[in-house]
Amino acid sequence: MSGIAESISLLASTDPGVRRNAALQLYRAGRNAGDSAINAWLTGDAELAGLLMEQVLDLAELALKPRLRRVVVGIAVRPGNFQKIREANGSPRLAEIPPDQDAMEFELHCKGAELDILTTREPGGSGAIAKFLEKFGEG
């Protein structure tokens, strides 16, 4: 089982500490994958950088440093895992997604990680999440 697959599985653990660590691992992996692309966009577009960045106080250096505003990492999972993860985390409210879109989603928040957990309503269907899961598996 890969690190990503194992972390996804652990999001359904009965132990809150295990779930939190799994969420942090997935968040870090998602950020590592996306940050280089985002940084390239921000370097070439001051207006976009102004929208996506904020200044925060670095207490160690007593200086303002730029940081991305809220970053949420999306994790696509199969419907069975979606239900297990949702139940293990107190059945968070499902996002409102138009009925014509083949997706279900809820958010997980813990200190240091924000995740969108997504799945398809129609496994093997033609929706974006179904196609992603078919091509790449969970992740």
- Cα 122 from Cα 130, distance rounded (Å): 7
Tens-place pLDDT, residues 33-85: 888 788 887 787 888 877 787 777 778 778 777 767 678 999 999 999 999 99
Tens-place pLDDT, residues 98-116: 988 999 999 999 988 999 9
Structure tokens belonging to residue 45:
């577009």
Structure tokens belonging to residue 82:
């979606």
- Cα 112 from Cα 25, distance rounded (Å): 10
pTM of the model: 0.82
Number of C-alpha atoms within 13 angstroms, CB side, residue 105?
Answer: 18
Tens-place pLDDT, residues 91-101: 999 999 998 89
Backbone angles phi, psi at 106, to 5 degrees: -145, 160
- The domain total for the chain is 1
Which residue has tokens 């976009």?
48
Identify any residues that bridge with 65 across adjacent strands, giving them in sequence order.
Answer: 56
Tens-place pLDDT, residues 120-136: 999 988 999 999 999 99
Range of the domain at 55: 3-136
Q: Is the pLDDT of residue 1 over 60?
A: no
- Return the pLDDT at 55: 76
